[in-house]
């Protein structure tokens, strides 16, 4: 039996990185070690004294390792209140020694979800130690190994503040772990036979449990556990703090982004970079360039080469392009870099790569431009403000209501483009193939633009973008003024239906040969008649694309 006057640590970790160093440090400080089987083997192999949990409890490992630490000698030692005489008596009667430190991390459920990676003993130990943090330290993060060793060396024990901090971290850790399991139950595909799929493991499908989200596609409960990934230069404005958070244990898109030059990014830099990146990768496989300003595109184009695409995107609205965010879907070569150097200053350039010498060239000419190298593509088949494809959050958009963080609006993620083959021609004149291509391009750009939005485009370039207006006519007027005739013979896209014929006449006056819009107005007949009167084709998508 272990001596009660000696400090005692219980170590049971799946991730064994750093555990030998921790164990060695504790042994040097005179601590006795208990460890679960796998952890004990690693510690013993390093020549350190350790007692296996099975030997300590006198109970063998059971049920294929499902029962190891679930024993009164373990949990009594962790949970005993050292200031409660009845607790002390219980320990004495049952021959249980107190445990002063619990070091545990859990089965990697988030990486390998499944029944056998649902940890039971680990969370029980962690929560027990965290509950009794007045007397017990609990460590769930290997990054804490060295700090706690340093504190014990200096003070002989962990301070009350340290134990409290570690307990808070432990409860957050187990809460996120349980949330990941609950999310897994929610999102299993129908017919998979997994929990939450609506099909039981038996052959009798009548005994299955209906999906928790019901028929609406919106779950009854959303579970969010976010960790701060990095601090930002500032928030929307310099007097506001800003930071980027990600789902705990799940790399975010910007974790894969490498910055090659320029100052640290701000809150708006990342918002606009994401918006530009999504659109650039939603325009097809041809070289594409997008310029975003204040969350809305002010230029977008595709071409046979990236330099031409960038130049045409810039030419859409050179005034707005100053201080904007440029995103491209191909490596920036020398010709494209030359076009960028000759154009207005950009706050951010985000690309899948930079040719040799391009980073130096851009950095020397534009010292304040942030040069970001990003993963080649987004999972952009759905638009979502939460990119974790393994949970409900991949299929939903969430937005904080009121900015207090305790109330959210939630909707299913929208599609940027329903199948264009399903679009209906409702006018006497049929669009040509070139006009259809212009319509599809304009509709994609329009769907990424804040409502009310109207886009005029021709030959793979947006020439006029009217964004964020309270009425559709004014959005069209802004688009027409910016296009200045350059979209003549091309397409006009509107993210919502035209309620009156005046919008169609404005599109025709701007030179549009085809209009693409959702349809659905009570004045649809008059709107179509106006298109026929002006001899333009009209496509109805059947889906509105408001974006706020």
* Mean pLDDT, range 233-257, rounded to an integer: 83
Please compute Rg for the chain using Cα positions. Answer: 30
In terms of Cα–Cα distance, which of 484, 529, 476, 523 is closest to 500? 523
Q: Per-residue confidence at 385, pLDDT binned at 50, 70, 90?
A: very low
**pLDDT at 216 (0 to 100):** 54
**For 463-510, what is each residue's pLDDT tens digit?**
999 999 998 889 999 999 999 999 999 999 999 999 999 999 999 999
Q: pTM above 0.75?
A: no
Alpha carbon distance 324, 385 (integer Å):
21
**Catalytic center residues:** 131, 294
**pLDDT at 541 (0 to 100):** 93
* Mean pLDDT, range 356-378, rounded to an integer: 85
**pLDDT at 214 (0 to 100):** 43
- 212 has pLDDT over 70: no
* Mean pLDDT, range 136-162, rounded to an integer: 92
- Stretch among 292-306, 406-420, 514-528 having the lowest mean pLDDT: 406-420
* Mean pLDDT, range 343-371, rounded to an integer: 89
**pLDDT at 377 (0 to 100):** 59
- 80 has pLDDT over 50: yes
**pLDDT at 204 (0 to 100):** 30
Q: Per-residue confidence at 237, pLDDT binned at 50, 70, 90?
A: confident
Q: Which domains does the chain have, with CATH numbers?
A: 8-182 (3.40.50.1380), 256-373 (3.40.140.20), 381-415 (no CATH), 420-540 (3.40.140.20)
Q: Which residues contact 452 (CB under 8 A, 6 or more apart)?
A: 466, 468, 469, 470, 471, 472, 474, 475, 494, 495, 496
**pLDDT at 3 (0 to 100):** 40
Query: Which span out of 68-72, 220-224, 536-540 was modeled with the highest average pLDDT?
Result: 536-540
Q: What percent of the chain has pLDDT over 70?
A: 86
Q: Per-residue confidence at 211, pLDDT binned at 50, 70, 90?
A: very low
Q: Which long-range contacts (CB under 8 A, 24 or more apart) does 77-81 make?
A: 77/8, 77/10, 78/10, 78/102, 78/125, 78/128, 78/129, 78/132, 78/136, 79/128, 79/131, 79/132, 80/132, 80/135, 81/132, 81/134, 81/135
**pLDDT at 195 (0 to 100):** 45
SS3 413: coil
- 166 has pLDDT over 50: yes
- 383 has pLDDT over 50: no
Q: What percent of the chain has pLDDT over 90?
A: 52
In terms of Cα–Cα distance, which of 451, 491, 457 is closest to 471? 451
Q: Per-residue confidence at 382, pLDDT binned at 50, 70, 90?
A: very low
In terms of Cα–Cα distance, which of 518, 519, 538, 522 is closest to 530? 538
Q: Per-residue confidence at 210, pLDDT binned at 50, 70, 90?
A: very low
Number of Cα atoms under 13 Å in the Cβ half of residue 147: 13
More confident residue, 305 or 187: 305
**pLDDT at 221 (0 to 100):** 73
- CA distances in angstroms from 144 to 16, 162, 167, listed in the order given: 13, 11, 12
- 356 has pLDDT over 50: yes
More confident residue, 208 or 276: 276
**pLDDT at 317 (0 to 100):** 94
CB distance 22 to 33 below 8 Å? no
* Mean pLDDT, range 358-378, rounded to an integer: 84
**pLDDT at 110 (0 to 100):** 77
The pLDDT mean for the chain works out to 84
**For 108-130, what is each residue's pLDDT tens digit?**
887 778 888 888 888 998 999 99
Q: Per-residue confidence at 420, pLDDT binned at 50, 70, 90?
A: confident
* Mean pLDDT, range 178-202, rounded to an integer: 55
């Amino acid at each position: 039996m272990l001596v009660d006057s000696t400090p005692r640590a219980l170590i049971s970790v799946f991730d064994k990185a750093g555990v030998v160093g921790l164990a060695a440090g504790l042994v040097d400080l005179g601590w006795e070690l208990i460890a679960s089987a796998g952890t004990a083997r690693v510690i013993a192999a390093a020549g350190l004294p350790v007692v296996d949990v099975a030997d300590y409890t006198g109970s063998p490992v059971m049920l294929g390792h499902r029962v190891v630490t679930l024993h009164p000698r373990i949990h009594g030692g962790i949970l005993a209140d050292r200031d409660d005489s009845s607790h002390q008596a219980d320990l004495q009667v049952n021959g249980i020694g107190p445990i002063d430190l619990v070091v545990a991390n859990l089965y990697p459920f988030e990486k390998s979800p499944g029944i056998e990676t649902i940890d039971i003993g680990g969370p029980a130990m962690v929560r027990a130690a965290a509950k009794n943090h007045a007397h017990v330290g609990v460590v769930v993060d290997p990054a804490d190994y060295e700090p706690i060793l340093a504190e014990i060396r200096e003070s002989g024990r962990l301070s009350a503040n340290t134990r409290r901090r570690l307990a808070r971290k432990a409860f957050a850790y187990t809460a996120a772990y349980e949330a990941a399991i609950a999310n897994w139950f929610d999102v299993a595909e129908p017919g998979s036979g997994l929990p939450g799929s609506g099909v039981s493991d038996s052959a009798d499908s009548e005994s299955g449990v209906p999906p928790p989200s019901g028929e609406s596609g919106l779950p009854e409960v959303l579970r969010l556990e976010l960790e701060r990934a990095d601090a930002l230069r500032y928030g929307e404005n310099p007097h506001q703090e800003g930071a980027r958070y990600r789902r705990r244990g799940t790399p975010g898109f910007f974790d894969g982004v490498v910055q090659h030059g320029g100052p640290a990014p701000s809150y708006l830099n990342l918002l606009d970079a994401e918006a530009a990146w999504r659109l650039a990768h939603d325009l097809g496989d041809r070289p594409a360039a997008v310029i975003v300003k204040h969350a809305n595109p002010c230029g977008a184009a595709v071409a046979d080469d990236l330099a031409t695409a960038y130049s045409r995107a810039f030419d859409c609205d050179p005034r707005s392009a100053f201080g904007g965010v440029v995103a491209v879907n191909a490596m920036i070569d020398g010709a494209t870099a030359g076009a960028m150097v000759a154009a207005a200053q950009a706050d951010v350039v985000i690309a899948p790569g930079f040719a040799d010498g391009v980073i130096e060239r851009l950095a020397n000419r534009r010292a304040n431009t942030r040069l970001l190298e990003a993963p080649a593509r987004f999972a952009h088949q759905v638009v979502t403000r939460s990119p974790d494809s393994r949970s409900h959050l991949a299929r939903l958009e969430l937005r904080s209501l009121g900015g207090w963080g305790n109330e959210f609006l939630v909707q299913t993620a929208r599609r940027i483009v329903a199948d264009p083959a399903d679009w209906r021609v409702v006018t006497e004149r049929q669009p040509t193939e070139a006009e259809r291509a212009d319509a599809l391009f304009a509709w994609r750009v329009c769907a990424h633009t804040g409502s009310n939005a109207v886009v005029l485009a021709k030959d793979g370039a947006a020439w006029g973008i009217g964004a964020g207006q309270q009425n559709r006519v004014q959005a069209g007027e802004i688009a027409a003024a910016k296009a200045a005739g350059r979209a003549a013979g091309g397409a006009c896209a509107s993210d919502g239906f035209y309620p009156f014929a005046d919008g169609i006449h404005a599109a025709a006056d701007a030179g549009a040969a085809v209009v693409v819009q959702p349809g659905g107005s009570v004045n649809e007949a008059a709107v179509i008649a106006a298109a026929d009167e002006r001899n333009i084709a009209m496509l109805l998508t059947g889906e509105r694309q408001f974006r706020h």
